[in-house]
Amino acid sequence: MSNGQFYSQAPAKTEVLNAFMRGVYQWMAIGLGLTGIVAFYTASSPKLLQLIFGNPMLMWGLLIGEILLVIGISAGISKMSAQMATGLFLLYSGLNGLTLSAIFLVYTMSSIASTFLICAGMFGAMSVYGLITKKDLTSWGSFLFMGLIGLIIASIVNIFLKSSGLSFVISGIGVLVFVGLTAYDTQKLKEMGLSAPYEDSLAIRRGTILGALTLYLDFINLFLMLLRFFGQTRE
């Protein structure tokens, strides 16, 4: 390959990466916005609150539905059309808004807003780190995965123990895990963007939706962990 060919291709690859990451962040922001709107509207409607939280079967159905949607999108994205992948992501974001509406009943609006800003700052800093660092974060993967499994097990155990001390520890470890996952996942998405087939717009769109879902989950979980530290409960 001549130097001329190399330099003519380099800007194209950079452009593809920039477009890919821009799409990831845009769809992530749309998902977060939809979740926030649905959560706020639900919390403002006594009828919806009664329907969702007064019916344990429906609540469990929503939670299980969200889990199945995440698994379905992650496992089946390569076989989906761009419209279906986008629609399922937005459906998940909306359903998550229904279940997350509970935070408006537990915490004050001002503390939710301030925690959101803190979360956005931490998420943004770690995502930028994942994009620009020259360090290979692959080694973080197994450690973060083990931490995530530990969080899930500890959270299930604490449902029965109802220990405030254990809840504090879970939240602290959770913040570290999701801060790390933000940088790790961003670097993985950068690598995906660099290898994206620029001529295949469908593959790029699928990748942006999968990336948006990944970072959306990191952001939401980090926000919920931080809310346990900074959220002020209603009187």
Task: Give the model confidence (pLDDT) of 218-235 as tens digits.
Answer: 999 999 999 999 999 986
φ, ψ dihedrals at 16, nearest 5°: -60, -45
User: Which of the residue ranges 10-19, 78-87, 92-101, 198-207 would you say has the lowest mean pLDDT?
Assistant: 10-19
One-letter amino acid for residue 64 of the chain:
I
pTM for this prediction: 0.91
Residue 3 has pLDDT above 70, yes or no: no
Task: Give the model confidence (pLDDT) of 93-150 as tens digits.
Answer: 999 999 999 999 999 999 999 999 999 999 999 999 999 999 999 999 999 999 999 9
Q: What pLDDT shows up at residue 162? A: 86
One-letter amino acid for residue 202 of the chain:
L
Tracing tokens 């530290």 back to the chain, one arrives at 229
A 10 A CB-CB count for 39 gives: 21
How much is the average pLDDT of 154-179? 92
CB contact at 8 A, 213 and 70: yes
* Percent of the chain residues past pLDDT 70, beyond the cut: 94
Q: What pLDDT shows up at residue 109? A: 95
pLDDT band at 8 (very low <50, low <70, confident <90, very high): very low
d(C-alpha 166, C-alpha 218), whole Å: 22
CB contact at 8 A, 116 and 224: no
Tracing tokens 């809310």 back to the chain, one arrives at 227
Residue 10 has pLDDT above 60, yes or no: no
Helix segments in the chain, DSSP class H: 3-43, 46-53, 56-76, 82-100, 103-106, 109-132, 140-161, 164-194, 201-230
Bridge-partner residues for 233, per DSSP?
107
One-letter amino acid for residue 78 of the chain:
S
One-letter amino acid for residue 179 of the chain:
V
d(C-alpha 24, C-alpha 27), whole Å: 5
Residue 200 has pLDDT above 90, yes or no: no
Tracing tokens 């620029």 back to the chain, one arrives at 198
Rounded to 10 degrees, the C-alpha dihedral 186/188/193/197 comes to -160
Q: What pLDDT shows up at residue 203? A: 84
User: Which of the residue ranges 2-11, 50-59, 67-76, 181-190 would you say has the lowest mean pLDDT?
Assistant: 2-11
How much is the average pLDDT of 146-161? 91
Q: What pLDDT shows up at residue 184? A: 97
Q: What pLDDT shows up at residue 12? A: 65
CB contact at 8 A, 186 and 130: yes
CB contact at 8 A, 220 and 35: yes
- Please report the sign of the dihedral spanned by the C-alpha atoms of residue 98, residue 102, residue 105, residue 110: negative
How much is the average pLDDT of 45-69? 95
